[in-house]
Chains A and B, each alone.
Chain A
Amino acid sequence: MSDSGTLTKTDLVALTGVNKHFGELHVLKDINLSIAKGEVVVVIGPSGSGKSTLCRAINRLEPIDEGTITLDGQPLPSEGKALAKLRADVGMVFQSFNLFAHKTILQNVTLGPCKVRKTDPKVAEQRAMELLERVGVANQAAKFPAQLSGGQQQRVAIARALAMDPKVILFDEPTSALDPEMIQEVLEVMIDLAKQGMTMVVVTHEMGFARTAANRVVFMADGEIVEQASPEEFFTNPTSRRAQDFLGKILKH
Chain B
Amino acid sequence: MLSVLTDNWELFVDGFWTTLRLFLIAGVLSLALGTVLAAFRVSPVPALRAIGTGYVNTLRNTPLTLVFAFLVFGAPKMEISLPTFFWSAVVALTVYTSAFVCEIVRSGVNTVPPGQAEAARSVGMTFMQVLGIVVLPQAFRAIVPPLTSVMIALLKNTTIAAGFSVAEAGAIPAVMAERGENQVATLVWITVGFLILIIPLVFLQRWAERRTAVA
A interface residues with partner B (beta carbon < 8 Å)? 59, 61, 79-81, 84-92, 94, 96, 98-102, 111-112, 115-116, 144, 146, 157, 160-161, 164
Q: Does B138 contact A (CB under 8 A)?
A: yes
Contact B215–A88 (Cβ < 8 Å): no
A102 near B123 with CB under 8 A, answer: no
Asked whether B54 is an interface residue with its Cβ less than 8 Å from the other chain, the reply is: no
A198 CB → nearest B CB, Å = 16
Q: Chain A contacts of B45 at CB under 8 A?
A: 79
Q: Does B183 make an interface contact (CB < 8 A)?
A: no
- What residues on B are CB-neighbors of A101 within 8 Å? 116, 138, 215
With A102-B137, A102-B138, A144-B215 given, is the CB distance from A84 to B121 under 8 Å?
A: yes
Shortest Cβ distance from B137 into chain A, in angstroms? 5
Contacting residues of chain B (121-136) with chain A, CB-CB under 8 angstroms = 121-127, 129, 133-134
Q: Which residues of B contact A61 (CB under 8 A)?
A: 118, 121-122
Q: Which residue of B lies closest to A93 (CB)?
A: B122
Partner of B124, one of A80, A100, A102, A112: A112
Residue from B113, B122, B137, B138 in contact with A87 in the complex, judged by beta carbons closer than 8 Å: B122
A residues within 8 A CB of B118? 61, 92, 94, 98
> Would B115 and A102 count as touching, CB distance under 8 A?
no
A90 and B123 CA atoms in complex are apart in Å by 8
Task: Please determine whether A115 and B125 come into contact, CB atoms closer than 8 angstroms.
Answer: yes
Query: Is the C-beta of B119 less than 8 angstroms from some C-beta in chain A?
Result: yes
Out of B113, B124, B138, name the residue touching A116 (CB < 8 Å).
B124
B122:A146 contact, CB within 8 angstroms: no
Taking a contact as CB atoms under 8 Å apart, the answer to whether A84 and B125 are in contact is: yes
Further contacts, 10 of them, CB under 8 A, given A87-B123, A87-B124, A101-B215: A85-B124, A86-B124, A90-B122, A98-B113, A100-B134, A112-B125, A115-B133, A160-B119, A160-B123, A161-B122
A144, B138: Cα distance in complex, Å: 14
Which residues of B sit under 8 angstroms from A102, Cβ to Cβ? 134, 137-138, 215
Q: How far is the CA of A61 from the CA of B118 in the complex (A)?
A: 7
Contact partners of A161 in chain B: CB under 8 A: 122-123
Selected from A81, A86, A89, A92, the residue in CB contact (under 8 A) with B119 is A92
Q: How far is the CB of B170 from chain A (nearest CB, A)?
A: 41
Choose among B119, B125, B129, B133 the residue with the greatest number of A CB atoms under 10 Å from its CB: B119
